[in-house]
């Protein structure tokens, strides 16, 4: 997930918003809740998104959620207050994965 809040230095000088990205991971066999796998601003955020796209990881945008996630420590489980938002994102990802498997099997 990403939010435009300002990218490179020259963009910040022009008042452009800086890009913020956060990545969640979840392993139901060992995690009680999704965990913050990566976070970053500007060039780091761009790299997170680039890696996600290169590996076929779905990317979604939720400006309010990414602001909260950016305040967490890496490998920290998301707080209970974010479970609903994370569940919606995971449902989105699972539906994309199911559609992809269907197309691949067809």
The CATH number of the domain holding residue 22 is 3.40.1690.10
pTM of this structure: 0.71
Q: Could you tell me which residue, 37 or 62, shows the higher pLDDT?
A: 37
Domain with 79 in it: 2-105
Residue 7 pLDDT exceeds 60: no
pLDDT tens digits along 17-39: 789 999 999 898 999 999 999 99
Q: Range with the lowest mean pLDDT among 9-18, 68-77, 81-90? A: 9-18
pLDDT at 86 over 70: yes
pLDDT bin (cut points 50, 70, 90) of residue 8 is: low
The tally of domains found in the chain comes to 1
Query: What value, to the nearest 5°, has the Cα angle with vertex 24 and ends 86 and 34?
Result: 55
């Amino acid at each position: 997930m990403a939010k435009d809040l300002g990218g490179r230095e020259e963009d910040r000088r022009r008042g452009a918003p800086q890009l913020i990205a956060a990545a969640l991971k979840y392993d139901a066999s060992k995690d009680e809740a999704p965990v913050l796998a990566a976070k970053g601003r500007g060039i780091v955020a761009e790299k997170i998104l680039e890696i996600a796209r290169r590996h076929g990881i779905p990317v979604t945008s939720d400006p309010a959620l990414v602001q909260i996630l950016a305040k967490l420590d890496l490998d920290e489980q998301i707080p209970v207050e974010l479970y609903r938002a994370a569940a919606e994102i995971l449902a989105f990802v699972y539906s994309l994965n199911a559609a992809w498997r269907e197309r691949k099997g067809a």
